[in-house]
Structure 1
Amino acid sequence: MSANGLVQIDGLPPIKKEDRKQSKVMLLFPPEWVPTAPYLALPSLTAVLRGAGHAVIQRDINIEMYDHFFSMDFLIWLKARLGMQLKELQDKEKAGVITEQEADQKLVVERANAVDVFDLADRAEDAKRIVRGERFYDADKLEWALNTFREVMQYISAAYYPASLVFYPMESNLGYRPGVSKEVFACLDDEQVNVYRDICNQLVLPSVAKERPDVVGLSIGTQMQLLAGLTFCKMIKETFPDVHVVVGGNVITRLQEELPHHERFFKEVFDSAILYEGEHALLWLIEALNGQRDIATVPNLMYRDAAGQVQQNKEVYTEKTTALPLPDFDGLPLDHYFVPERIIPYLATRGCYWGRCTFCDHGQGYFDQYRGMTAQLVVEQVKALRDKYQCRHFLFSDESYPPALFKKVSQLLVDQNVGVKWTTLIRFEETLQDQAIWDLAAKAGCCTLYYGMESANERVLNLMDKHAKKSVIQNNLQSAAKAGIWNHVMAFYGFPGETREEALETRQFVLDNQPVIHSVELFYFVAYRHTPMVRNPEKFGITIHKQEEYDLPLDYYYTLNEPVGISCLDAMQLCEEFYKNDFQPWAVRVNAREHVFLYISRFGTNKLPQIYAQRQTVGVSDSVSGLVTWPVAHSEGDEGMARVTSHEVG
């Protein structure tokens, strides 16, 4: 039994095959996520539901939205929206009742209205052909396509003023804070800025009307998806009151303590929420809705009972990874992602084998800790996915690939001549100092690796409970680079207690090792709410500041108890200075993880001068500059193994 009274169980007894009632289920993945590969949550859920005989329609609305955005039909429709807005603003100006904000909006709309929308749409359509075809591998053409997408997003933003809609990185801002419930509810009904209302009307509701599912499930993995996902839920629930709407995903799990205090979510937005892992919990919920189980027995479930009270079942079920079926991608538009070759995510482990980093809360998506498959099963499943979907590029979406599995899987991939290319996130380890290990991984198809270095100072690393040695970090980077693997390093300034000199040691390490660090992200420390640090702030010499209005928090503002080390604001400033003064060697024109992955796969080398910017003014928030945010995880219940660049500082 956990501290909050939850109890882990082995599962519920299966319904006999002859007694099963079939349901139709629609699963939706909302924006915003990278449009380069499917997310693993829906295929994992689909495999279990279809295995039990249910009909499943899975829709990646994220890629459908971007495909729709960059189309002639949508942009012509948007032109009409801009025209109506302009007329209304002009009428207000003539009547002398226009506000200052409306006057600003009028200037933005006028500029957008002057754009040749047919030329813009033609270029957007060609940009899609570039990212999906052979011209992708011409870096100049790819950069042109990505900048065209950004230009279109600026045009779209004008129609949803003052929203800022961004193609890449995922930093769109509707002007509402997702950590404040009253702003979340206001956003869901805001037809001016909430672009996702139009996306729902144009892409989601017609599909629900056509398919008439019994259940609609939405997987909300990241905070960037929260407003879109909840918008879809509310509009589906309003339009189709007989459809059961259920939400799940990492963000929902992280908010489980707050949701019961906001009954309005269960009254107006969705009917139930699944916490932690969802494959069998969703199956058992469907059986309960069919009258074959008591809903109070369904593990991982939060719901509103007949009396209108929000209930959370105390039983928690964790999936048995070796018993789960192969993820089922059937029905997803695998050839519509913004890449010229299919890329499929695959997860061999759940949780993190290290699981000790004091700043990390990724494990919050799981009730217990690390579980994994054998190397032989991993390779068998990769081969099965390769053959079924004619795909030779894989995202190994594990939070941190275990060293033993890394070595064994590499050996089996070589021995069995599997012929795939892959990328993953890995930890710096003393057991990986033999050059032969990295040579084998490269031979097995490993193209790019992502490392959470965090700091180059060993005292700070020990405070973080990472316990990596500087010499090991350097050895791993040099060995991987020598083998031809692309190294992406992530670090941050401002871990509580870190001095300015120690922070600058990280900066200098990155600069000194630039030849073997091919791309880099440097952030500032954020106090995520479910980390050991926030649970025990006095141990780390910090005070957590909670603000009443932030009633859906995922992180907190903090201050140091003693003037030892750099403050949060100091860390932000150091981060800004790094991108202003030092980032030039890493400024790339091709700034998606999957795009770099495919370039290395095609050209067979980690030396890719053509993808780096020649002349660039780099700023932390300049999305055209080549600043990479590299969301690197595509697994259910995982927000992304890299820290994001924008946070609530509440």
Structure 2
Amino acid sequence: MNDLIARSNPDGSTRRQKLLLIYPPMTTPTSPPLGAPMLKGYIERELPNWEVKVLDLNIWCYERVFEMLRSGFIRIPDEYLPGGQSALASLLEVPDFFRGKTARDFYADPAAYDQYGELLLGITHIMSTQLGNEANSIHQGAGLSPLLAEAFKLILEEKADCYGFSMIFNQQLPVGAALGRLLRQETTSKVFFGGSCFTAGAEDFLRWYPHSADVIVDGDGEEPLKQLLLQGGSPENVPGAVFFEDGEVKRNTSEYRRDIDAYGKPDFGNLQLDRYYSPTPVIPLLLSRGCYWRRCTFCVHYMSAGLTYRLHGLEMVIDMLRGFVEQGIRHFSFVDEMIAPGHFAKLADAIIESGLDISYYALSKPNRTFTPEILAKMARSGCKYLLWGLESGTQRILDLMDKGTRIEDVAQVLRNAHSAGIANHVYVICGFPTETAEEFGNTLRFLEENREYIYSIHRGTFSLEPGSPIYKEQERFGVTRAWMAQPTPLGGRWLHETVSGMNREQTQNIFQSVQPFFRRFNPYAVYLANYRDHAMLVYDKLGAEAMKQMPREFPALNLSVAPSGVQATTADLLS
């Protein structure tokens, strides 16, 4: 029998093996991670001789940082605190405010929400940067910082037979890599990495951090992890495995199971939900794998599912939701890449017919098939808001993106959703290849004209992603030159030049100039859009009609830009 599978107790009996799944810091602490609980649920069902524990080092890290601040063990420099050290007392109140445990009301004090929201963003940025630097220094031979030393001690105390790291965001990678390296140095246990951040660049990551993991899994993690445990950590024939062999990085072909109901339900059992920074628990759920559209030319996210789209059966979804409701949990984030209108209608019907009283938010694409009838049904089922992939207010740009949407249809969908009682959040991209300042002005004009129906703008500037359709067909999109500006663990940060449109400096200047306009869209609080779970809780608590009545003040927009065909400079889009 493989050594990783069966070890004996002193009396000669076979004991259960232990797998520790670790979620590294630092990311938003409003709700628990999903990937590790999904793996826990699957492995414990499939391999009953394995005990699986999820260790959320992210929320632990926040707790320790605030304990260290209270004791004076660490200090935040004045320049990082709004108001200097006088703001320290408020900073220390952040965890309790977001947990709903202070006199200031999470649901009734927008000024307090903005105060604490800004402070939480600040401490997250500071600590994420600091931890990343400390973790990277370990690879250069430096010792452990006090916080990372505590984290490593916490991991070792679990005495696991095998370790897995589940990572979603790039800022988790240095810490995960450092802890993985230490585990491989200090123990004989196998270390596996996985998560959606490895959609592209797993091979690059292993070359960048060659001592961090025995195997990285790209794609669905359930079956590969099961096989790794059964094979004593050997990656032979394990789908999606990336590993070193004879000094070279090798990759096995990924496989994608059609029947994802077979993966079962996530198990959040060993996570204490009251530790997270929300006044009531919000549970993330994945109702599908992949994206039904799979055509956006700037995107690589849907590639994590191997260009597939696989749905959980509605019966299983309702059974899963009912299980949480019976535990007193009724707030959910559906974190699917995108839910199609037709399936959303069936999902809403199933929730309504089940009689479940839940609230949720999700992502989708604003096309005309979201009829008033479907949106009304979604609202009745508990949908509080939708994050729409708007991206641009110019049809030429939408067509280049291959969004499959018409701008006039988008406006109607936003109005219909608002009328149904569903809040609208929209994504916007500035600086798509060949986009002019005038065309980005069209996007701003669209937002201005529809601001009554929009509660948040999630925005960013265009980034050229290796593996995306634009990257593969640069000439078709007017890209005349592309180069790696900075190496990174996942393959590098790429810059580009185009045959026409705004250059990088113009894009950044325009984008920064309109931030005050973007920030004013939320009726409740400026920083509410930074915490998606909180937005859903506020909309649920206050109700759609109350949100509609809240006054908003917008900076006046000056949409005059350079004439067509002339390169604008910073184009004063704000007065």
Class of the TM-score when normalised by the shorter of the 2 chains:
0.7 to 0.9
Q: How far is the alpha carbon of 1:304 from its aligned partner?
A: 3.4
Deviation at 1:366, TM superposition (A): 2.0
For the residue of structure 1 that corresponds to 2:219, the secondary structure is coil
SS at match of 1:559: strand
Change (3 A) 1:176 1:396: closer
Letter of the 1:57 partner, please give it.
Answer: K
Match of 2:289 in 1: 350
Choose from 491, 509, 520 the match for 1:573. Answer: 509
Partner SS for 1:254:
coil
What is the match of residue 233 of structure 1? 180
SS in structure 1 of the partner of residue 273 of structure 2:
coil
State the secondary structure of the residue aligned to 1:247.
Answer: strand
Do 1:588 and 1:612's aligned partners in 2 also have CA atoms closer than 8 Å?
no
C-alpha separation in 1, matches of 2:227 and 2:329 = 32
- Match for residue 559 of structure 2? none
Q: Determine whether 1:247 maps to 2:193.
A: yes
Is the 1:271–1:303 Cα contact (8 Å) retained in structure 2? yes
The counterpart of 2:129, out of the listed 160, 163, 173, is 173
Residue 40 of structure 1 is matched in structure 2 by 34
CA deviations over 1:25-55 (Å, ceiling 9, x no partner): 0001112221111121011100111112110
**Deviation of the 1:198 alpha carbon:** 3.5
- Does residue 527 (structure 1) correspond to residue 470 (structure 2)? The answer is no
Q: SS of 1:298's equivalent? A: coil
1:59 is matched with which residue: 55, 60, 81?
55
Q: Give the TM-score normalised by the residue count of structure 1.
A: 0.75
* Structure 1: gaps spanning 5 or more residues: 1-14, 84-104, 155-163, 167-171, 178-182, 618-650
- Correspondence for 1:383 among 312, 322, 327: 322
1:404 pairs with one of 331, 342, 358:
342
Aligned position for 2:568:
none
What does the per-residue CA deviation read over 1:564-604, in whole Å, with 9 as the maximum and x for residues that have no partner?
Answer: 22223322222112114564344614341111110111122
Task: Give 1:280's aligned residue.
Answer: 223
- The equivalent residue for 2:547 is 608
Aligned to 1:644: none
Classify 1:270/1:120 alpha carbon distance in 2 versus 1 (closer, same or farther; 3 Å).
same
Q: Go from structure 1 to structure 2 and tell me whether the alpha carbon gap of 1:348 and 1:274 turns closer, same or farther (over 3 Å shift).
A: same
Give CA deviations for 1:404-448 in whole Å, capped at 9, x if unaligned.
111111112112211111100111122113x22211111110001
Q: TM-score of the superposition, structure 2-length normalised?
A: 0.84
Distance 1:470 1:30, change over 3 A: same
Report the CA distance between 1:469 and its aligned residue: 0.9
The number of residue pairs the alignment matches comes to: 539
Q: 1:360 to 1:20 in 2, by over 3 A?
A: farther
Matched, 1:289 2:232: yes
Gaps of at least 5 residues in structure 2 are 6-12, 557-575
How far the C-alpha of 1:611 sits from its partner, in A, is 8.5
Say which of 245, 256, 263 aligns to 2:202: 256
1:417 corresponds to 2:363 = no
Deviation at 1:297, TM superposition (A): 2.1
Say which of 298, 307, 316 aligns to 2:238.
298
On the 8 A contact 2:69/2:92 being kept in 1, the answer is no
Shift of 1:309: 4.8
SS of 1:27's equivalent in the other structure is strand
d(CA) in 1 for partners of 2:135 and 2:149?
19
Instruction: Give 1:330's match in structure 2, choosing from 253, 257, 269.
Output: 269
What aligned pairs does 1:155-234 form with structure 2 within 5 A after superposition? 165=126, 172-174=128-130, 185-186=136-137, 188=139, 197-202=145-150, 204-234=151-181
- In structure 1, how many angstroms separate the alpha carbons of the residues matched to 2:225 and 2:192? 9
AA paired with 1:576? Q
- Tell me whether 1:506 sits opposite 2:443 in the alignment: yes
Kindly state the Cα deviation for residue 369 of structure 1 after the two structures are TM-superposed: 1.4
Q: 1:20 to 1:442 in 2, by over 3 A?
A: farther
- Per the TM alignment, residue 323 of structure 1 is displaced from its structure 2 partner at its CA by 1.4
The answer for the alignment partner of 1:517 in structure 2 is: 454
Match of 2:570 in 1: none
1:341 corresponds to 2:341: no
What is the CA–CA distance in structure 2 between the aligned matches of 1:451 and 1:191, rounded to whole Å?
45
Aligned-pair CA distance for 1:608: 3.1
| 1:529, distance to aligned residue in structure 2 (A) | 1.4
Give per-residue Cα distances to partners, 1:249-287, cap 9 Å, x unaligned. 12234212424545xx33x32222111111111111011
Q: Which residue type is aligned with residue 575 of structure 1?
A: F
Q: CA RMSD in A?
A: 3.5
The answer on whether the counterparts of 1:134 and 1:340 sit within 8 Å (CA) in structure 2 is no
